[in-house]
Amino acid sequence: MAHLRLGDTAPDFTADTTEGTIHFHEWLGDSWGILFSHPGDYTPVCTTELGTVANYHGEFKKRNVKPIAISVDGVKDHLDWIKDINETQNTTVDYPIIGDEDRKVSELYDMIHPNASEKATVRSVFVIGPDKKIKLTITYPPSTGRNFDEILRVIDSLQLTAYHKVATPANWKDGEDCVISPSVSNEQIPEFFPKGHTEIKPYLRMTPQPNK
């Protein structure tokens, strides 16, 4: 059983999906990816979640993120269920859903937690960078639907901090001030952060978001 940690390479796989057979790393290409599992087709919370992801199409595209869903149901069930998602959530599902009846991918990513549910995948989330490394993992129980606004917020932070020497404070949202990384000396601040900074403590230095 895989125990995937931050910074690990996301396991590659080949799988049948609602959009044909994909080779995961090849499908990701130079994009960021969000791989998320749901406990089952024709279930109420999952219907709202997959509809929400479809409705957030523009937000994911803006961030160069490709979503892909998975459950241990087959592709035929997924295709039938998509009609219900589109109807009830007033959307068009336009991303692939992996059919994983043999649990190959679910077990590769440790998405089945027997103490929560013997048969179904829990609500796992993996955010994967263009380098194919795992940048974020979140695991929700089957009974709790995900907050995709939070997942977008984390992606904003991941993309910002990947390219700038900053971290993001508690409850940070895109556009707000950031924390200057401890690796940056006070002498280097003008070079990296020409917008200026505020020193609250020697170890807590704030600066306007550098890419805004």
Residues taking part in catalysis: 46
CB 121 within 8 A of CB 72: yes
Least Cα distance to 5 among 164, 192, 134 occurs for 134
> How far lies 167's CA from each of 73, 75, 109, in Å?
39, 40, 27
CB 10 within 8 A of CB 66: no
E strand or H helix at 203: none
Is beta strand 65-71 parallel, antiparallel or unpaired with respect to 134-140? Answer: unpaired
Least Cα distance to 62 among 148, 151, 152, 158 occurs for 152
